[in-house]
């Protein structure tokens, strides 16, 4: 025994203190392949000199307690999710060697998409995929890799091609992806095979060490308990049942073609962060508001029209400028399917007091840019409120007698300026000039924030002025 | 201090980066997608990680991995995606890993719709995953709080080694308002428990499995004791005209904004109505509601669900006063007028004239 302990690779803990009970033995059944695979991994970790930087992921399955044994960083994760966890572990610690240890139920069934996606992204991780053709831990149920005709707890009559389909060939499947770098299948099946498994594992880890990308070794492994086979017969069982279906060997190796890549991160100064977040903005100029002097104070404004008429950006113009002039402002759009083809609307509140509800049933101001909006929302305008509408497009007249009504031929004016789509800005110009709610210069100042296409900013400034001039004629 | 007129969803991303968040793992869903869009834009700009995962199941597990590495990390989604994240949330809470998760609630159940709703309260506040665990839940009611509470969320997550959920709704996410952004935070406290791929962290283990019953009982007890301390230390709320109110309206998120207008109008009409807005949903302002039982005659909970938060109000009131309820669902947001009508009914019932 003493000799055995001396020979234990350094990748293993000297004593398995995390394991309840006996700290010298493993929790695996006699003849279980997991123990041998652990040993190969522990030796490789030692020989490759990566022990300090290795993080091993314990999956859900019989190897849930991988962390009992390895003197490395350890993390236990949810069933099948190890590749996703590994993805982030590696990205957060690019210098770490991240090993995802998974069974066939874990990797090929519940975690099927996670392994596929991580492999396809070419994550710089190493996966050890233990294919024992069964769910060992939960009592010998069918795995995606169980063999045709194989009797398991959930296929008591044998795996049926027409019910469960054929056993899944995982390395072949992943080899069809462009993302992975190194994929191989080997077996733990006696001395004849162990050297090849050892080499495969080292190649896979070296692939990660060299910055070459995703590597995985599928290892056929005995589960005498799950198969209900005597441990001494298990290699013969594998030879007879597994090898015909699961060919050993490298299925993909593009290490030579891959440029080494090591992710690095820059540390930015506080000033650089602020700058990169577009938060380094100059102090705006202030233009005195006439809000209190007019009867149009603290308005809630509804702007409505077709999607594409610039309804939302007209609202954003008002709100942006309002903010810069020291007002409380809010802007809220109708969102989702309503915006596709149908009417789009938004609410803008400008106020000298904190804004409660950002939407109101009865807005003080309605700007209607198409007929459906006028017909739908006219009745809602607060008595004494203001209704503005695009009289070029809307061929009916508003009906209310208890509100102020401004007909603005905004689309015609925009056409005269050479761009139909600036009717929204013209309407905003008319509104601010007519109500005196803020200086047109305030809108002009923040126009670039609301206009996405920068080459249109100047044209919109013109449109704004056209609106202001129109208001003077009212 | 930079001021920007910005969508709540986008404010979250800038705030997260200012708070030192190093990675974002997401999956698109309306009405939370702007968070992923803004994260995709800004995280790489400051040399941080953005990755669109294959699913919400994966994105929360990536958060698990990133958090285990000791970095500040986050994800965001809405109803259906949050359901898929519950497995991961349970593991994060069980392994005591800090993270920030945003839920921009939409209408449910099932695919429901993409309009604002509050039907995920029970799932989030009561714990939608398996096992005895709690997450800290913050409920912003405007763009500024999307910023402020996101930053607070990262601090609380680290302080308590626990997931923190920002629970907002489609309206709060889509609404633009002025936001004053603070300066970026400086160096963060070390996390000696993290897995960093270095010699010093080699003996660390991130884990939620305790096969021995007594060990697990001790762990669950430790968590429960932590949640009790959180309940003592972290309750946040806003009381507005509440202390002399006969009828106290209770609502969070977008509803609280509408109620605030109701309270203003009611006060103008001489009605003694107030607002209690929980900012933390776990821990809930139970004690404050208890105190208000001394001065008020009743409560009116308003929600965009068929009645979830109201249960916490009832527990806090504990039968001492009537707790009324008003709701709109399906993506409809209650109007000031309809709430005011309900307020009048309950006030006139309380004091017959
Ligand atoms: C979400 C979830 N579903 C089911 C289980 C139960 N479970 C535990 S292990 C396991 C199968 C593991 O089989 P495999 O990955 O092949 O590992 P093995 O035990 O064979 O090594 C299952 C289904 C679980 N823990 N979590
Ligand atoms: S059940 Fe199978 S896989 Fe699990 S420990 Fe036993 S032999 Fe190994
Ligand atoms: Mg198995």
Is A274 a domain residue? no
Please tell me if residue B45 touches chain A, with a CB cutoff of 8 Å. yes
Statement: residue A1 has pLDDT above 80? no
Residue A210 covered by a domain:
yes
| Percent of residues, chain A, with pLDDT higher than 70 | 96
pLDDT of residue A453: 83
Ligand 2 centre distance from Cα of residue A109 (Å): 18
With CB atoms and an 8 Å threshold, state whether A75 touches B66: no
The pLDDT confidence band at residue A141, using thresholds 50, 70 and 90, is: very high
Residue of A nearest to B260 (CA): A356
Pairwise CB contact (< 8 Å): A336 & B30: yes
Find, among A332, A274, A327, the residue nearest to A303 by Cα: A332
Report the CATH number that the domain containing residue A313 is assigned in CATH. Answer: 3.40.920.10
Euclidean distance between CA atoms A78 and A102, whole angstroms: 11
From edge to edge, which strands make up the β-sheet containing B323-327? B237-240, B273-278, B247-250, B298-303, B323-327
- Provide the sign of the torsion angle of the four alpha carbons A89, A95, A101, A105, taken in this order: positive
For residues B127 and B148, give the distance between their C-alpha atoms in angstroms, rounded to a whole number.
24
Residue A366 lies in a domain: yes
**How many angstroms does the Cα of residue A129 sit away from the middle of ligand 1?**
14
DSSP annotation of A298 reads S
**Omega before residue B109 within 30° of 0, cis:** yes
The reported pLDDT for the residue numbered A160 is 98
Whether residues A81 and A196 fall in one domain:
yes
Distance CA B68, CA B97 (A): 7
Contact B47 A265 (CB under 8 A): yes
- pTM beyond 0.90: the answer is yes
Q: Identify the burial level of B77 via C-beta atoms within 10 angstroms of its C-beta, where 0-12 means exposed, 13-18 middle and 19 or more buried.
A: buried
Distance CA B206, CA A330 (A): 44
Contacts of A266 in chain B (CB under 8 A): 47
The model's confidence at residue A293, banded by pLDDT at 50, 70 and 90, is low
Question: What is the pLDDT, as a whole number, of residue B349?
Answer: 61
**Per-residue pLDDT at A353 exceeds 90:** no
Best mutation target among A137, A277, A313 (most B Cβ atoms within 10 Å) is: A277
A146 CB-near residues (< 8 Å, 6+ apart)? A133, A134, A152, A155, A159, A164, A167
ipTM of the assembly?
0.96
Compute the radius of gyration of chain A from its Cα atoms: 35
Beta bridge partners of A76: A58
Domain limits for position A412:
290-471
Within this chain, do residues A246 and A295 fall inside the same structural domain, yes or no?
no
Peptide bond preceding B283: is omega within 30 degrees of 0, i.e. cis?
yes
CATH number corresponding to B237-350: 3.40.50.920
Are residues A309 and A243 both part of a single domain?
Answer: no
Question: How many residues comprise chain B?
Answer: 353
| Domain finish residue from A205, A231, A253 | A253
Q: Hey, where are the domains in chain B?
A: 3-233, 237-350
Is the bond preceding B31 in cis, omega lying within 30 degrees of 0?
A: yes
pLDDT band, residue A89 (cuts 50/70/90): very high
A281 touching chain B per CB within 8 A:
yes
Q: Does the pLDDT value for residue B104 go beyond 80? A: yes
**CATH number of the domain where residue A71 is located:** 3.40.50.970
Q: What is the pLDDT of residues A418-464, one digit of tens each?
A: 999 999 999 999 999 999 888 899 999 988 888 878 888 999 999 99
pLDDT digits (tens, 9 = 90+) for B205-219: 999 999 999 999 999
Task: Pinpoint the alpha helices (H) of chain B.
Answer: 8-18, 33-45, 56-68, 79-94, 121-125, 143-160, 170-174, 213-233, 254-268, 286-295, 309-317, 336-350
The answer as to whether A95 is a domain residue is: yes
A224/A302 same-domain check: no
Q: Would you give the DSSP letter of residue A286?
A: P
Q: Which helix (H) or strand (E) holds B326?
A: strand B323-327
Q: A369, A311 in Cβ contact below 8 A?
A: yes
Fold of B3-233: Rossmann fold (3.40.50)
Specify whether the CB–CB gap between A423 and A390 falls below 8 A: yes
Are A219 and A317 contained in the same domain?
A: no
Contacts of B132 (CB under 8 A, 6+ apart): B220, B223, B224
Residues of chain B found within 8 Å of residue A265, distances taken between Cβ atoms: 47-48
Would you place residue A359 in the very low, low, confident or very high pLDDT band (cuts 50, 70, 90)?
confident
Closest CA to B36 of B102, B123, B116: B102
For A17, the closest chain B residue by CA position comes to B203
Evaluate whether residue A1 is within a structural domain: no
CB–CB of B36/B28 below 8 Å?
Answer: yes
Give the number of domains in chain A.
2
pLDDT level of residue A324 (50, 70, 90 thresholds): confident
pLDDT at A5 over 50: no
Same domain for A319 and A400: yes
High-pLDDT (> 90) share of chain A, % = 83
More confident residue, A192 or B206: B206
Q: Which residues contact A212 (CB under 8 A, 6 or more apart)?
A: A124, A181, A182, A255, A258, A260, A261
Whether residue A441 is contained in a domain is answered as yes
User: Higher-confidence residue: A8 or A57?
Assistant: A57
- What does the pLDDT look like over B223-275, one tens digit per residue? 999 999 999 999 999 999 999 999 999 999 999 999 999 999 999 999 999 99
If you measure from the C-alpha of residue A28 to the centroid of ligand 2, how many angstroms do you get, rounded to a whole number? 6
Instruction: Tell me the three state secondary structure of residue A144.
Output: coil
Same domain, yes or no, for A245 and A304? no
């Amino acid at each position: 025994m003493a000799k055995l302990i001396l020979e234990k690779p350094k990748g293993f803990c000297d004593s398995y203190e995390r394991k309840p009970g006996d700290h010298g033995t493993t929790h695996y059944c006699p003849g279980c392949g997991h123990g041998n695979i652990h040993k190969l991994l522990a030796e490789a970790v030692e020989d490759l000199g990566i022990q300090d930087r290795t993080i091993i992921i314990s999956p859900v399955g019989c190897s849930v307690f991988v962390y009992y044994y390895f003197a490395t960083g350890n993390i236990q994760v949810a069933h099948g999710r190890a590749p996703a966890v590994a993805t982030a572990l590696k990205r957060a610690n690019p210098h770490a060697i991240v090993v995802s240890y998974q069974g066939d139920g874990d990797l090929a069934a519940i975690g099927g998409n996670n392994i596929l996606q991580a492999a396809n992204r070419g994550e710089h991780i190493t996966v050890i995929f233990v294919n024992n053709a069964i769910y060992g831990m939960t009592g010998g149920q069918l795995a995606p890799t169980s063999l045709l005709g194989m009797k398991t707890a959930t296929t008591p009559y044998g795996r049926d091609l027409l019910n469960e389909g054929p056993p899944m060939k995982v390395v072949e499947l992943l080899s069809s992806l462009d993302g992975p770098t190194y994929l191989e299948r080997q077996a733990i099946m006696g001395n004849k095979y162990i050297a090849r498994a050892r080499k495969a594992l080292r190649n896979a880890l070296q692939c990660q060490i060299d910055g070459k990308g995703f590597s995985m070794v599928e290892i056929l492994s005995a589960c005498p308990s799950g198969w209900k086979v005597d441990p001494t017969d298990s290699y013969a069982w594998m030879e007879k049942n597994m090898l015909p279906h699961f060919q050993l060997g490298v299925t993909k190796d593009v290490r030579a073609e891959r440029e080494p890549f090591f992710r690095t991160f820059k540390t930015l100064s506080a000033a650089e962060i602020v700058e990169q977040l577009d938060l380094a903005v100059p102090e705006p100029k202030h233009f005195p508001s006439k809000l209190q002097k007019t009867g149009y104070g603290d308005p809630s404004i509804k702007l409505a029209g077709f999607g594409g008429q610039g309804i939302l950006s007209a609202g954003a113009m008002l709100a942006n400028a309002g903010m810069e002039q020291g007002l409380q402002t809010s802007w809220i759009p109708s969102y989702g399917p309503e915006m596709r083809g149908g009417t789009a609307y938004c609410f803008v509140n400008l106020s000298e007091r904190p804004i409660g509800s950002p939407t109101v049933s009865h807005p003080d101001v309605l700007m209607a840019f198409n007929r459906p909006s006028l017909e739908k929302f006219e009745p809602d305008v607060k008595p004494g409120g203001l209704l503005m509408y695009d009289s070029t497009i809307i061929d009916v007249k508003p009906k209310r007698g208890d509100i102020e009504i401004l007909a603005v031929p905004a689309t015609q004016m925009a056409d005269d300026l050479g761009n139909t789509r600036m009717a929204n800005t013209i309407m905003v110009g008319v509104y601010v000039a007519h109500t005196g709610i803020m200086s047109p210069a305030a809108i002009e100042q923040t126009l670039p924030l609301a206009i996405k296409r920068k080459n249109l900013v100047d044209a919109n400034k013109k449109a704004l002025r056209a609106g202001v001039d129109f208001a003077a004629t009212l | 201090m930079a001021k920007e007129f910005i969508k709540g969803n986008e404010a979250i991303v800038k705030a997260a980066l200012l708070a030192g968040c190093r990675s974002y793992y997401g999956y698109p869903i309306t009405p939370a997608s702007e968070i992923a869009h803004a994260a995709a834009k800004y995280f790489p700009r400051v040399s941080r990680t953005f990755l669109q995962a294959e699913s919400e199941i994966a994105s929360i597990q990536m958060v698990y991995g990133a958090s285990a590495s000791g970095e500040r990390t986050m994800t965001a989604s809405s109803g259906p995606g949050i359901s898929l994240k519950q497995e991961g949330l349970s593991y994060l809470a069980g392994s005591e890993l800090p993270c920030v998760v945003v839920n921009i609630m939409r209408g449910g159940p099932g695919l429901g719709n993409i309009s604002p709703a509050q039907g995920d309260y029970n799932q989030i506040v009561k714990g939608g995953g398996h096992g005895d665990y709690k997450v800290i839940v913050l409920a912003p009611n405007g763009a500024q709080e999307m910023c402020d509470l996101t930053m607070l969320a990262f601090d609380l997550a680290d302080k308590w080694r626990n997931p923190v959920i920002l629970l907002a709704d489609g309206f709060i996410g889509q609404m633009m308002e002025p936001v004053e952004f603070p300066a970026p935070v400086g160096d963060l406290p070390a996390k000696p428990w993290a897995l960093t791929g270095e010699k010093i962290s080699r003996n660390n283990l991130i884990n939620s499995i305790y096969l021995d019953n007594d060990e697990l009982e001790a762990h669950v007890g430790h968590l429960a004791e932590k949640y009790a301390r959180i309940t003592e230390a972290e309750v946040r709320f806003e009381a507005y005209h509440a202390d002399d109110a006969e009828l106290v309206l209770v609502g969070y998120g977008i509803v609280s904004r509408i109620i605030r207008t109701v309270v203003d109008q009611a006060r103008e009409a001489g009605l003694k109505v107030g607002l209690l807005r929980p900012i933390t949903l776990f821990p809930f302002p139970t004690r404050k509601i208890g105190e208000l039982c001394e001065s008020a005659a009743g409560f009116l909970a308003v929600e965009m669900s068929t009645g979830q938060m109201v249960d916490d109000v009832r527990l806090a009131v504990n039968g001492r006063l009537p707790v009324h309820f008003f709701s709109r669902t399906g993506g409809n947001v209650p109007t000031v007028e309809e709430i005011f009508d309900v307020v009048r009914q309950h006030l006139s019932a309380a004091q017959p004239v």
